[in-house]
Amino acid sequence: MNFMSKSLSRRTLLRGAGAAFALPLLDAMIPAGRALAATAASPSKLRRLGYVYIPMGFNPAPWTPKGETLDNLPFTLQPLEKIKDQVTVVSGMELKNAYPGSHATSNAAFLSAATARRTESSDYYLGTTVDQIAAQHIGQDTQLPSLELAMDLLNNVGQCDNGYACVYQNNLSWSSPTTPLPAEAHPRLVFETLFGEGGSPEARRGALARRASLLDSVTDEMRRFQAGLGAGDRNKVEAYFESIREVERRIQRAEANVADNPLPDLDRPVGVPAEYAEHARLMFDLQRLAFQGNITRVASFQLAREASTRTYPEAGVPDPHHPVSHHGKNPEKLEKLAKINRFHVSLFAEFLEKMAATPEGDGTLLDHSLLLYGSGMGDSDAHDHTDLPILVAGGAAGNMRGGRHVTYDKHTPLSNLHLTLLNKAGANLDRFADSSGRADELFGPLSI
């Protein structure tokens, strides 16, 4: 196979029984006659946006860096040490349209910067979220325009918080003001969404019994495909598929650890790691594989629901998160809140490190991505939406300059940052929600 005269399509899939696997960016996908570095840096090929949500705000003192650099990371952000040159801490941003302050509006406004209609019924109304606008511009030529992930397996229905329908707390992403997009928290279902052909829940249950590994069905085709590649591309494909296989092994181990799992009920998911951290790592890994295989270029991930009573013994906090967040300035509760904040940051840091360790073109997966991490709530005790905890990570194809702490006036709209990320992704919009300008200070010249 001569890839010098004819390049391989970026959309090439390896297909097997019940599986279709996308491929990472390969040298063989570079159009003939072009230099690898020039093509690999092309933003039209490599731009990606990811959004990670943490609930119930933060303890600002151990989060906020002193000064304009990240030379001395505060307690909560110390897990970012290895990757801080690709991270910018942003202080002072506000979600004005999240008022009156509530858990429901914190979650709903984070990606929409819109006011949620106060209702407990089905006449809910919000706004199209920034990730879905991005998907309209950069997600239409991928297998999935966007990927919505969460950590909570069961979503509440009815009224959840201060007269707001539960849909506002359950869903980060909305494709229109009246269309929330449900997020998936079960690793097996996400895996099969990314790499399987889908089908009914009954068909998926049958597939679990029939297939020891989805990869087995494409092994022969993969070998034939690799035979026509150069040595570097063969190594890339092998490494990518080994990452997929490792994720699948972890899912299978989790399923094997479920005691009553001979034939699970459809409404009772199985195969979820018992520990929160392992579950979160698995979901982050699935997102990374989806980016690496160009299955999607846009993703959102809710690390926990607002008003969650989840405990974090792994972080040394056996107390439920929500009561801890109402700290009343109690030093003991503030310390526990900082530990929870640090724990969530540590999981995000691991994800960033893996993205940075994944080669792609002339750089890494992280070099060609932008990720926004934060909360729709600032002071959790007051349900405030001012001075939000916000991190921006990634290289933006050479346009992001990390290792910094950028401070804005405390009433600067978060939508300014959303607008800037959209423009970095090629959306070329003049305004998003209540934006008053752009946050171009975080980046180099707008060359994308």
| Residue 330 and residue 358 in contact, taking contact as beta carbons nearer than 8 Å | no
| Mean pLDDT score, 402-412 | 91
CA-CA distance, 244 to 301, in Å (whole number)?
Answer: 19
Tell me: pLDDT of 280 over 90: yes
> What does DSSP assign to residue 117?
P
> Is residue 355 scored above 90 in pLDDT?
yes
Check residue 153 and give its pLDDT.
78
Please indicate whether residue 14 or residue 360 has the higher confidence score (pLDDT). Answer: 360
Q: Rounded CA gap, 315 and 336, in Å? A: 9
Reported as a pLDDT band with limits 50, 70 and 90, residue 42 is very low
In angstroms, the Cα distances linking 110 to 152, 281, 324, 386 are 18, 23, 22, 12
Quickly tell me which residue has 């990518």 as its tokens.
240
Res 200: pLDDT: 54
* % the chain with pLDDT above 70: 74
pLDDT at 409: 84
**Rounded Cα–Cα distance for residues 330 and 324 (Å):** 10
Q: Give the pLDDT of residue 262.
A: 43
For residue 36, the model assigns a pLDDT of 39
| Banded model confidence at residue 238, pLDDT cuts 50, 70, 90 | confident
Asked whether residue 264 carries a pLDDT value surpassing 80, the answer given is no
Residue among 438, 437, 391, 435 nearest 97 (CA): 435
So what's the pLDDT on residue 446? Answer: 42
**Over residues 130-152, mean pLDDT:** 91
Band the pLDDT of 141: cuts 50, 70, 90: confident
**Looking at domain 48-185+277-284+297-442, does it have CATH number 1.10.3470?**
no
283 touches 149 (CB < 8 A): yes
SS3 at position 47 = coil
Condensed to tens digits (0 to 9), the pLDDT of residues 356-404 reads 999 888 889 999 999 999 999 999 999 999 999 999 999 866 677 899 9
Domain ranges for the chain: 1-34+191-271, 48-185+277-284+297-442
Q: Among the listed ranges 55-64, 114-123, 222-231, 412-421, which one has the minimum average pLDDT value?
A: 222-231
Answer yes or no: is pLDDT of 348 > 60: yes
The model's confidence at residue 164, banded by pLDDT at 50, 70 and 90, is very high
Per-residue confidence band for 223, with pLDDT thresholds at 50, 70 and 90: confident
Nearest to 318 by CA among 349, 347, 343: 343
Q: Say what the pLDDT of residue 158 is.
A: 52
d(CA 275, CA 312): 9
Name the pLDDT band for 193 (thresholds 50, 70, 90): confident
d(CA 86, CA 74): 17
pLDDT at 404: 95
Q: Half-sphere exposure (CA, 13 Å, Cβ side) for 109?
A: 34
pLDDT averaged over the chain? Answer: 82
Q: Which of 71-85, 177-191, 239-253, 414-428 has the highest mean pLDDT?
A: 71-85
Of 3-7, 245-249, 360-364, 412-416, the range with the lowest mean pLDDT is 3-7
CB 206 within 8 A of CB 266: no
DSSP 160: E
In tens, the pLDDT along 286-321 reads: 999 899 888 899 999 999 999 999 999 999 999 999
* Neighbour-count burial of 231, counting CB atoms closer than 10 A to its CB (0-12 exposed, 13-18 middle, 19+ buried): exposed
DSSP-derived 3-state class of residue 175: strand
Radius of gyration of the chain (CA): 22
What gap in Å lies between CA 110 and CA 104, rounded to an integer? 10
Query: Position 242: which residue type?
Result: E
Q: Residue 303's pLDDT is what?
A: 97
| Phi, then psi, of 412 in degrees rounded to 5 | -80, 125
**Could you give the CA distance from residue 409 to residue 430 in angstroms, rounded to a whole number?**
21
Please answer whether residues 433 and 109 qualify as being in contact, where contact means their C-beta atoms are separated by less than 8 angstroms.
no
- What does the pLDDT average to over 211-230? 67
More confident residue, 122 or 432: 432
Please count the CA atoms within 13 angstroms of the CA of 79 that sit on its side-chain side.
19
Q: What pLDDT digit, counting tens, does each position of 17-30 carry? A: 555 566 666 666 65
